[in-house]
Amino acid sequence: MNTKSAISSFFIATIATLTLSNAASAAAAGTAAAPQPDPAKVERGRYLVVTAGCNDCHTPLKMGANGPEPDMARLLSGHPQDLVMPPAPSLPPGPWGFAGAATMTAWAGPWGVSFTRNLTPDPETGIGSWSEQDFLATVRSGRHLGRGRALLPPMPWQNVAAMTDDDIKAIYAYLRTIPPIVNRVPEPIAPPAPPAAK
C-alpha cells in the first residue's frame, strides 16, 4: 500500500465510523421524537379523503388519454404555483354563478378568486407545521387555524365539520404520511369593490 492509498483508507474508515455513530444517535432521537402513526388510523384517513372527495379539488387535474384525470404526482398539493391564472372571466348577469380552472384548483365567484390549498406535509408551503389541534380547529370553525380568515367557497368545510373527531384526526394522520410537495399556493384575490353609490 502506498502512502496515498493508506491515507485515503484512513479517511474512509473515519468517515464510516462517524456515519455509523450519527445514524445510531439519529435513530435514538427518532424513536423519542416521532411515534409511528397507527396504520389502521392512517388507512381510515385515506379512505375518508378518497370517499369524501378531497382529491376532487386539492389534487390538480391533468389531461390524460381518456380526458381529465387527477395528477397523482401532485397528490393533494393544491393549485400549482407555476399555473398563473389570467384575470377571471366576467360572467353576464344571470344564473351562471362562478367559473373554475381546468385543473379544478382555482375558482372565481362573488367571493373573488380562491385557490385550493396544499394539504401535503411540506412545512413551508403545506400543512407540515400544523398540529392535530390546528387541523381540527380549521375544519370545525371554517377559519384558517381556527382564528384566521374565513375559508372561502367552494371548500366544503361544513361537511368536514360534521365528521367525528376520530375521523378528522384520521384524515390528519393520513395527510402526514403523503409525500411532502413544495408548492406555494397563491393567496385568494378579493372581489372588485362594488361601484360607489351615486
**Contacts with ligand HEC, residue ranges (CB under 6 A):** 52-54, 56-58, 107, 114, 116-117, 119, 138-139, 144, 151-152, 154-156, 160, 171, 188
Question: Which three three-digit cell numbers place residue 122?
Answer: 411540506
CB of 30 to ligand HEC, least distance (A): 27
CB closer to ligand HEC, 116 vs 120: 116
CB of 122 to ligand HEC, least distance (A): 12
CB closer to ligand HEC, 27 vs 165: 165
Residue 125's alpha-carbon distances to 9, 103, 122, in angstroms, are: 43, 19, 6
CB closer to ligand HEC, 22 vs 158: 158
All residues at 6 or more sequence positions from 183 whose CB lies less than 8 Å from its CB, including other chains: 74, 77, 78, 80, 81, 118, 120, 122, 125, 126
CB closer to ligand HEC, 61 vs 139: 139
CB closer to ligand HEC, 85 vs 152: 152
CB of 16 to ligand HEC, least distance (A): 44
CB of 76 to ligand HEC, least distance (A): 9
CB of 50 to ligand HEC, least distance (A): 9
CB of 63 to ligand HEC, least distance (A): 20
CB closer to ligand HEC, 44 vs 58: 58
As beta bridge partners, residue 62 has 69
